[in-house]
Amino acid sequence: MEEIREEKVLYSAVQPSGSLTIGNYIGAIRNWVELQSRFTCFYAIADMHAITVRQEPALLRRRTLELAALYIACGVDPEKCTLYVQSNVPAHAELAWVLNTVTYVGEMERMTQFKDKSAKHAENVNMGLMDYPVLMAADILLYQAHLVPVGIDQRQHLEITRDIAIRFNNRYGETFRVPEAYILKEGAKITSLQDPLHKMSKSDENPNASVYLSDDKDTIMRKFKRAVTDSDNRIVASEEKPGVTNLLNIYASFKGCSVPEAEKTFEGKGYGDFKLAVGETVADALAPIQAEQKRLLADKGYLAGVLKKGAETASYTARKTLSKVFRKVGFYRGD
Ligand code: TYM
């Protein structure tokens, strides 16, 4: 088994729980690509997290593979990082169990995402939904990650991960590295096109609210045309103009420029032209990703090989941490 590069470790994951939005891309996956040459990166497909809300089994399996293809199509290079499916590495569930014993019910009940999802899925407030942050802590801590690149909505989960790591270390002796969230200012929160005060989400019921990475050009153009803005016609980013600010963020992210540069591009232009330009930019950027994803999905053997190798590499690192944990908590290991 090849040894992992000895440098800073980065960990992140996305759930295969629906079609990914441009928020997932801008807030997470796009940054992973840039970081993969600088760090030892583990990028997972969090299927165990996904089943905390009800999933159609065949669809979950398909989406898992689609997400693997999407990572690669976006530029995640399986030669440079470890790409794998969370449920293929049993150490995640094993560590989560141990971490459960240093996590309090009260703190889980107070998590924002738990409260939101319990309200949304009132008929299915299961233990997994409540335990979601502990499994996420297990993901990160198994790899002794230094940094976790995520969007701003995951900040609270990173804070609880740090608390759990510190608590375990205090109780059992130094075991886990205490990780830091790596949240880029621009694009950390892409908001809904229909309600720019709320985040763009995979599971939004309004089809015009989110732009999916799988949307075709017509759909993308239509959604941007209908995007909510405001009644003054200035294209500048400011707190009072959340819709325009969001569109500027999206444009700047896909163009690879800064928001002030984007503002300059649209100086003196009207909202109509602006929205068209944002739509065109997004559609043009997504077209090659979509084509590459399609090409990769036609080669299931290649994807299976990547994920198998990824799971082996991940297991090797994860087992090292897990053995340490089992020893520290006093599990009998036969020696
Ligand atoms: P998930 O699948 O909900 O989201 C994946 C990533 O996309 C980011 N994101 C956004 N960023 C900017 N604007 C948005 N509108 C937006 N929507 C989503 C999220 O912040 C996230 O980075 N719990 C995680 C998955 C996970 C994980 C982990 C992440 C499981 N284990 C370990 C990091 C480390 C999640 O909900 O992802």
Per-residue pLDDT of the chain (335 residues; tens, 9 = 90+): 444 454 899 999 999 998 899 999 999 999 999 999 999 999 999 999 999 999 999 999 999 999 999 999 999 999 999 999 999 999 999 999 999 999 999 999 999 999 999 998 899 999 999 999 999 999 999 999 999 999 999 999 999 999 999 999 999 999 999 999 999 877 788 999 999 999 999 888 898 999 999 999 999 999 999 999 999 889 999 999 999 999 999 999 999 999 999 999 999 999 999 999 999 999 999 999 999 999 999 999 999 999 999 999 999 999 999 999 999 999 998 87
CATH (one of 1.10.240.10, 3.40.720.10, 3.10.20.30, 3.40.640.10) for 217-294: 1.10.240.10
Amino acid 262: pLDDT: 96
Per DSSP, helices labelled H in 42-146 are 47-50, 57-73, 91-100, 105-109, 112-120, 127-142
Q: Are 11 and 42 in contact (CB under 8 A)?
A: yes
Q: Say if ligand 1 is within 6 A of residue 139 CB.
A: yes
Work out which ligand 1 atom sits closest to the CA atom of 135. 31
Amino acid at 138: A
Residues 6+ apart with CB under 8 A from 273: 266
Amino acid 99: pLDDT: 98
Interval between CA 159 and ligand 1 midpoint (Å): 14
Relative to beta strand 147-149, strand 180-182 is parallel
| CA 68/CA 45 separation, integer angstroms | 7
pTM above 0.85, yes or no: yes
Which residue numbers are catalytic? 117, 199, 202
Amino acid 1: pLDDT: 47
Three-state DSSP at 165 gives helix
CATH second-level architecture of 9-187+300-329?
A: 3-Layer(aba) Sandwich (3.40)
Residues 6+ apart with CB under 8 A from 254: 22, 26, 281, 282, 285
Residue 16 has which token pair? Answer: 């295969």
Q: Say if ligand 1 is within 6 A of residue 27 CB.
A: yes
Amino acid 335: pLDDT: 74
Amino acid at 73: A
Q: Say if ligand 1 is within 6 A of residue 24 CB.
A: yes
Q: Say if ligand 1 is within 6 A of residue 196 CB.
A: no
Nearest-CA residue for atom 26 of ligand 1:
13
**Residue intervals in the chain for CATH 3.40.50.620:** 9-187+300-329
Amino acid 333: pLDDT: 86
Query: What is the biggest distance separating any 2 CA atoms in the chain, rounded to whole angstroms?
Result: 75
**Residue intervals in the chain for CATH 1.10.240.10:** 217-294
Element containing residue 85 per DSSP (H, E): strand 82-85
Amino acid 3: pLDDT: 45
Residues 6+ apart with CB under 8 A from 204: 192, 210
Interval between CA 233 and ligand 1 midpoint (Å): 33
Amino acid 334: pLDDT: 86
Radius of gyration (Cα) for the chain, nearest Å? 21
Relative to beta strand 82-85, strand 9-14 is unpaired
Evaluated on CA atoms 38, 40, 45, 46, the torsion sign reads: negative
